[in-house]
Amino acid sequence: MKKHVVIVGGGFAGMNVARQLANHPHLDITLVDKNNYNFFPPLLYQVATGFLEISSISYPFRKMFSGTRNLKFWMGELQSIAWEKNTINLNNGSLSYDYLVLATGTTTNFFGMENVQRHAIPMKTLEEALIMRNLMLQRIEKAANSQDPQEQRELMTIVVTGGGPTGVELSGMFAEMSKTIIAQEYPELAHLTPSKIYLIDGGSELLSPMSPQAQKATLQAIQELGVEVRLNSHVVDYDGETVSLRDGSTLRARNLIWAAGVTARRFEGLDEKSYGRGNRLRVNAYHMVEGTSNVYALGDTALMETDPDFPNGHPQVAQVAMQQGCNFAKNIVRELKNQPPIPFHYNDKGSMAIIGRNKAVVDLVRPNWHFSGFLAWLTWLLVHLMSLSMPRNKVNTLYHWALAYFSRNSSLRMIIRPDRTKTP
């Protein structure tokens, strides 16, 4: 009889499992996701800033797997797990399984600050990216129509929290937009350009996982763009107009972009001891969740401390999720052949971040190279372009990138406000 593999989450890890096991004659696959599409999170910020359209970084699951004989898609959201009964309960039904793969990723962590959660702008999903784009464009338009100079300054001031790749990329993009698009298209705001942009991080450097060379180059490049960087600083409150920092200082701004942390989800039915820091599920070297027999966790939601090179767990990045998805799929096939599983070992190829036009940083592990500037920028573009899921995504993204690069502008800055009252 065929074994049933249920994959919850269609991100990097879940997609790699599905692709590796597609059309396997002894397996049936069900991919569960609350959305009906896969999307590419590293380029969300370009949707949020109006440089890419949604279709450039997303693709429907059913279209992606049409023609795959053993794979079904179920649009639903996981509610609870009855792992002793090999069953999961969704918001719209239940599924039984032989192997359960949890690849549910993370959500924004506001660290218990209710006011920040209420007023700040997160960016983890396509919906949140569109909300950010709408809000930022509406506030620019409001500033253009305002007769109050103080209100104009506050509406045009942006505070970005989190000095990781997302925070650096967003602040760099906003700085360049202020000097080009806003300066060209909003004469009413000429006296305010470039806009005041702050990048705040609680650590002592930007891009903390990267090399000191990359950190130094990033700080210099981001400051040259006009971004004011505040390190060793923590946001403790935000009321929609005033950002309060731990040292007692404040910043007047109507825009607080929250890119300061993530946390995994918890699911009813799993033992409390199965969870580690950040709500990540503790797994062994073969991705099995501690305390279970056939429940596995991959990607950002997994905490594996058995890899000798990463005793504190792997970084929550796309490459880890993709490699774990491939390793798990291979082990399922090996089990069907009565072969022993292979423990996971992360092959760290390096990391990179884009800062702005012709500006990026790249760390390569093997060989041990660190470079920045135009070559790093081209490398970042190529890697991200090739990582997009489908040919159509690659073509759309390349077209919009080329248009934005040569024109220093974008035509995707439309304010779209769907009527939520008519949404089922």
| Residues 270-310: tens digit of each pLDDT | 999 999 999 999 999 999 999 999 999 999 999 999 999 99
Structure tokens that stand for 35 in this block = 């959305």
The DSSP string of 35-55 is SSEEE-GGGHHHHHTTSS-GG
Mean pLDDT of 63-74: 94
Q: How far are the Cα atoms of 54, 78, 96 from residue 88, in angstroms, in the given order?
A: 31, 7, 6
Sign of the torsion formed by the C-alpha atoms of 377, 383, 386 and 392: negative
Two tokens at 390?
A: 């489908």
pLDDT at 73: 97
Residue 221 has pLDDT above 90, yes or no: yes
Residue showing tokens 């760099």: 172
**191 φ, ψ (degrees, to nearest 5):** -75, -10
Find tokens 């702050």 and name the residue. Answer: 198
* pLDDT beyond 90 at 244: yes
- Give the pLDDT confidence score for residue 243 in this predicted structure: 97
Please spell the DSSP secondary structure of 66-115, one letter per residue: TT-TTEEEEE--EEEEETTTTEEEETTEEEE-SEEEE---EEE--TT-HH
Under 8 Å between Cβ of 214 and 205: no
Structure tokens, 266 = 């918890």
Q: Which two tokens stand for residue 77?
A: 């959201």
Model confidence pLDDT, tens digit, residues 303-354: 999 999 999 999 999 999 999 999 999 999 999 999 999 999 999 999 999 9
Q: Report the helix count and the strand count for the chain, using DSSP H and E.
A: 12, 25
Tens of pLDDT, residue by residue over 121-144, are 999 999 999 999 999 999 999 999
**What is the residue-wise DSSP string for 374-398?**
HHHHHHHHHHHHHHSSSHHHHHHHH
Q: Are 83 and 100 in contact, with CB atoms under 8 Å apart? A: yes
Q: How far apart are CA 160 and CA 170, in angstroms?
A: 8
In sequence order, the 6+-apart residues with CB closer than 8 A to the CB of 46 are: 52, 57, 173
What does the radius of gyration of the chain's CA atoms come to, in whole angstroms?
Answer: 22
Domains of the chain as residue ranges with CATH: 3-34+76-108+262-336 (3.50.50.60), 114-260 (3.50.50.100)
Residue 63 pLDDT grade (very low, low, confident, very high; cuts 50, 70, 90): very high
Q: Could you say which DSSP state residue 404 is in?
A: H
pLDDT averaged over every residue in the chain: 93
Altogether, the residues listed in the chain come to a count of 424
